[in-house]
Structure formats: C-alpha cells, structure tokens
Amino acid sequence: MYEASKQKAFFEQSKQFLSTPATKDQIEDLRDNLRFHEWKYYVENSPVLSDYEYDMLYKSLEKLEETYPALITEDSPTQRVAKDLTSEFNKVKHLTPMLSLGNSYNKEDLVDFEKSIVKLTGEETMTFAVEPKFDGGSIALVYENDQLVRGATRGDGTQGEEMTANAKSIKSIPLKAAFSKYGIHRVELRGEAVIRKDVFDRVNQERAKNQQVLFANPRNAATGGLRMKDANETAKRGIDVFIFQLSFAEDANGNDILHQFEKHSTCIAMLKDLGFKVPKSEFGVYSTIDEVSQHCIKWENQREKYPYEIDGMVIKVDDFKLQELAGYTQHHPRWAIAYKFKAKQATSILEKVEYQVGKTGSITPVAKITPVALAGVTVSSISLHNEEFIQSKDIRLGDTVLVERAGDVIPYIVKSLDELRSGKEIPIDFPKQCPSCNYDLIKPEDEAKWRCPNNYCEAQIIQKMIFHVSKDAMNIDGFGKSYVERFYDLAWLRDISDIYNLDYQAIAELEGFGEKSATKLQEAVLKAKQNPIHRLLNSLSIYHLGRKASKVLAERIEHVLDLADWTEENYTDIHDVGPILAREVSHFFQQEENIALIKKMEEYGVNMKQTEEDRPVEVAEDAPFKGKTILFTGSLQQMTRKEAQQKATLAGAKNISAVSSKLDFLVVGEKAGSKLKKAEALGTVSILTEEDFLAMIE
C-alpha cells in the first residue's frame, strides 16, 4: 500500500509536524500521516515512531479539530474514539449471507473435495487459495464512498448485530479505504476479530491485577470485545481484524461488479493494497491438492509459533466463475472447505500412577492413562508434578481426565471430570517410601516435591549417570540412557567414575556393538575427559547446582577439590549463589565418598583443573560497557544475537534478559517490538542501534 519512498516521505513529514505543528491548511495531510502510522503499527506490526511521538501528532490533530470543528471528517483518526455510547446493538441484514464451512480432516478429504468440484464445474484443472482459519469472532464491514459505514457481528449468518462504533475503535480497520480506485462504490468485507496471544496474556495480567475474571482464551476476549457497550473498552482489548473475503461489490450505478475481479486471491491482493490486514506467508495459491495439503500440514505444525490462535486452514476455489458453478448447499458454499487441525484436547481414563525417582531423589508422580490421540501423537504418560498438584485438582484413580497438548509443549492434565464419576474412583495415596529403595521420603518445608534422601538409592544412581553423560552435562556423544542401563545391568557401572574406566574390548563383543561403535564411544569418552570443570561440576547432580552456578563456581577455583576447603564466607561473597545452594555444595564436598569419587575420576584422566573456558573474562578498566547491563532485541543484521552478547561481555557488559529499571542499554535491531516500547516508556534506558553499539565497542 505504501511504497518505500512514500513511507520515507511520511516519516520525514511526521518529524516536521513534530517540530512545527501542522496548520489548518495541512489538516488532511496530518490525518493521512496518522493513518500511515496506524497502518505501520496495527497492520504491519512495525512502527517507525515511538508511542510518544505518535501521541504528540494525534494531540496536534485533536487541537486543530477543536479549533476548527467544521473541518472534522467522519474518517478522521480522532473519530475512532466513541463520544456517545450505544445502548442497543441493532439487528442488521448482511449484504450477502455469512455461511459456515464444511470440514475436512486429512488429505483424502481434500482429494474428495477436489473431485466434487471437478464434477460440479466440469473443469479438470483449477487453483486453490489456502489461508488460516482464525479462531476468533467473524464480522462484516461495509464501506461506501471509501468510508467505513457499518460494522456488524456474524449473528445467525443472515442478520448480525450492528457494532460500527466498536469496529471504528479497532485500529487495524481503516476508516477510509480507496475502493473508488477500483471502481467500487459499495463493498462488504468479511473479517475475523482476533487477539494476539501475547496481547491476550497482557490483557489477562491486567485483569488479574484489577481482580477481574480472566478470559478463558483469546477468542472469548475478542468476541466479547466486539460487543462492548462502550467502544473505548473494545479499544482496550487490543483486537486485530484480518480480512479474509470480499463478498460483495457494486459500482455507483448499483451493478454487481464482484466478478470483474475474477479471483479471490486478486481481491486479497487488492485489500492488502488498500491497507487492510490480510494473511501474508500464511496465504498460498496452489494448482494441486498435494501442495494444498502440504501448506495445511506446514501450518498445522507451526500453529503454536503463529502469534494468533488458528484452528485450521480454509481452502477456496480461487476462480469466481468456478465458485459460481460449484454453488452452495443449504448451509455452506461447495467451493470452500475448512481443514481442521487435530484436536489439542481429549479425554481419557487415569489407570494408575507411577512414581519416578529423579537424579537428586525427587519423586515425580506420572499418570498412566488409556492411550489417546492428541494433536497427532499418542499420549499414555503424563506428569502429575507433585502431591500438591494431585490434591489441588482432586485427581483420582479411575477418573475421566481432560488432557491437553499444545504444540511442542508436553501434555498435561487440565482437570478431572468429576461429573462423570461413578463413585468407584479412588483418591491417590502418595507413597511415604521410595519406590526404588524403600527409604522414608522427606519433604523440606519450602519445596514442592518429596525426596528420597538415600545416597545409595539405585534409581538415583542410574538417573545421575544418565544426566552425567547428557548434552547439558559432560556431553558424551552417543552415550545415552540405554547404554547406561545396559552397562549398569552388566555391573560395569556402579558410580559415575566407572564411565571413564570401561573395558572397550568387552563392549565391542556385546551384541549389537562391534569394534567400530566401541571405538567411537571410547573416543567420545576420551574427549569428555578434557571438558572444562564447569561442565564437570554441573554433571555431579549436586542438589540445586545448575549450569549457571557451576560456571560461577568454576571461575573461582583452580581445582575442583578447592571447593572442599571453602568456608561459608567464600560463598556469601558470590552474588549468584544463595545460602541454600551454598549449603548443598559444601555438604557435597564434605563427604568423603564424594571426594574419593572425584579423585578416582581424576586418576582415570578426567580434567579437574580450571581451563581457559572456565576463566572469567578479563575486562579492562576502560571497557566501554564496564559494569553496565545490556539487552539485544529485534533482528540484528551484522552479527548473530550470540555474537553480539559475546562482544558485549568482552566490553564489560552483563547481558540480562528483560527490560526493567536495572537495564542500562537496549540495542535494537530491525522489527524491535514490545521491549523497545517498554524501554521507551521507562525513560531510563539508553537506546542504541546496532551501528551505535558497534561504534562504541570499536
């Protein structure tokens, strides 16, 4: 809609209006300028002015209009704010009915869909448009003479409720759009009101703060927002409207001219050009059902990463002539179909609970449910976290449970359906003894989980070894859970030191091994022996000691056993180490068997001395960011995020992850979003471009 050169011109004009306020003669220029920024912000999601600057421009328009009320126009950006409240939502008839869609669930259904179109139209080849099926509230917008004149909810499909004031308050809906450029006098558009997932989270946080009832999901928040009596409340919800169809168009003489545009995809391109929010890479046009199906699957797989909730894709025959030939059933068009994504929720029966012992002895209850298909995978095991979780949800054996799996997130139990209980369900009795070694479990007061305190607990020892060889710890390539369990069963492994003293000849003779894989394993173990000591510290499974604190400790010791001589004061000096961690680490290094273990590992050649990688970065006195905190946001052009952070560390800065009053510098790349806004709002953060940053560290 706005070419690059035009965008630049608008931007420069804004800067001028900010230094020299617009005059009466420039009022329409100022409005166009604000419209441009609304588009940048709400349609494109890439603002070029700060919120403050935008507000200043907006206020200068308000002021001009106050001085010259005769110059106020209906489509002025100031008119988005409703002055008087509508008490009624009048029923209005849509210009064309809003029908629902038939559903499909897999590729075979799509093939059948194509076959039916071929049969109905007599046409063998055709193209299909594929777009997201937004999970929100449908609306219809009518423009006349390039002005938004009506907004309405879907209602029963024939009649909806008028909500023009609310539609006007939604900034991704242009109040003015140049349909006349295309010879259109009156037009009806279909759109879906949605709320970005992150905006939804913020809205709910805000509501929680004000002790208001939380919204169940973005759809409820959006559809409810459309029907607010006070349009200013609608504006607060952060609703976006995606336009997905041009359903009616006539010229100044009242002739239906929709078919002049020939294709659905042409209309979408036109709407984009007119400044409406339409799907971008989510929209595709294909000539085979194979490609259509691939597009659907691709978006199903990445639906969680998409900023809006979508529950499927919509496939439309692109050509209007073929659409007409295909026609309609009573309920839906024959030329379009919804491809429904697999359900994220399902019910199943809780059959039993197993108790897993972790590497530091914590006990995790795991629900075993009747296997159920959920968003494309079969689920039979779900973590119940801890005793408190089971009690608070009153989950019982034999219960019908509602299970959810969202994207890459592991499945979880939403709730028990107690209305389906027969009375035979049994409350879950959390064990008092370790399922592996029978030791009495303990539960420190400030912790959520029960623990087995036995150092010689077999389950713990095996878990410790599995963790020890894992990527996060010693990163022994190819050495995983199955090897650990197998070697343990053969009594080759009794503690982690044995990992470094294996008999590779014997391994080569094991079934399924051979010389080659035994040698490979030997090389991986050999390599791990040279690891920096921060990895070694982390791999010991010391309670509460993680990767970050391991690094902090490794920076301060020359040899791992130096920790055996540490006193309480050594720890209290370290900012990142709290008293609980200090207690656990010193407890570990006071036990003789642990000292013996480390000495044995050292004998087997495992490095126990501080390496180059463990040493703290030397920061010069005059380092440009010495003692400062820094954060990178947006996409950087000249280096990766990681490289940038390394450069910052070398320049004395501490990388932190959130914008707060503790942040000194925010470096913004392209498309910087909420972090930039937050930093600007704080007013205490120095904002740098990537170039500024590079210049400073030169």
End-to-end CA distance of the chain: 40
Q: Minimal distance in Å, beta carbon 453 to Zn ion?
A: 8
- What is the spatial distance between Cα 694 and Cα 698, in angstroms, rounded to a whole number? 6
Instruction: Choose between 398 and 431: whose C-beta lies nearer to Zn ion.
Output: 431
Q: Which residues bind Zn ion (CB under 5 A)?
A: 434, 436-437, 439, 452, 454, 457
Catalytic residue chosen out of the listed positions 133, 344, 449, 464: 133
Task: Report which of 480, 426, 31, 114 is spatially closest to residue 286, judged by C-alpha positions.
Answer: 114
Q: Minimal distance in Å, beta carbon 591 to Zn ion?
A: 17
Instruction: Choose between 452 and 521: whose C-beta lies nearer to Zn ion.
Output: 452
Residues 6+ apart with CB under 8 A from 684: 661, 663
- For helices 107-121 and 289-301, the axis angle rounded to 10 degrees is 140
Instruction: Choose between 434 and 465: whose C-beta lies nearer to Zn ion.
Output: 434
Residue 269 has phi, psi (to 5 degrees) of -60, -40
Q: Is 133 a residue of the active site?
A: yes
Block residue for tokens 């306020």:
21
> DSSP labels for 10-44?
HHHHHHHHHHS---GGGHHHHHHHHHHHHIIIIIS
Amino acid of residue 79: Q
Q: Which residues pair with 396 in a beta bridge?
A: 427
- What is the spatial distance between Cα 68 and Cα 158, in angstroms, rounded to a whole number? 42
Q: Is 638 exposed, middle or buried (0-12, 13-18, 19+ CB in 10 A)?
A: exposed
- What is the spatial distance between Cα 224 and Cα 276, in angstroms, rounded to a whole number? 22
Distance of CA 547 to the CA centre of its chain: 25
Task: Report which of 274, 95, 279 is spatially closest to residue 175, judged by C-alpha positions.
Answer: 274
Q: Minimal distance in Å, beta carbon 433 to Zn ion?
A: 8
Note the residue count of the chain: 698
Q: Minimal distance in Å, beta carbon 597 to Zn ion?
A: 19
Q: Minimal distance in Å, beta carbon 435 to Zn ion?
A: 8
- For helices 481-489 and 458-469, the axis angle rounded to 10 degrees is 140
Do the Cβ atoms of 158 and 100 come closer than 8 Å?
Answer: no
Residue 271, H or E segment: helix 264-273
Instruction: Choose between 460 and 550: whose C-beta lies nearer to Zn ion.
Output: 460
Q: Minimal distance in Å, beta carbon 434 to Zn ion?
A: 3
Residue 15, H or E segment: helix 4-19
Q: Minimal distance in Å, beta carbon 194 to Zn ion?
A: 50
Structure tokens at 243: 């336009």
Instruction: Choose between 395 and 462: whose C-beta lies nearer to Zn ion.
Output: 462
Instruction: Choose between 177 and 465: whose C-beta lies nearer to Zn ion.
Output: 465
Instruction: Choose between 398 and 435: whose C-beta lies nearer to Zn ion.
Output: 435
Catalytic residues: 133
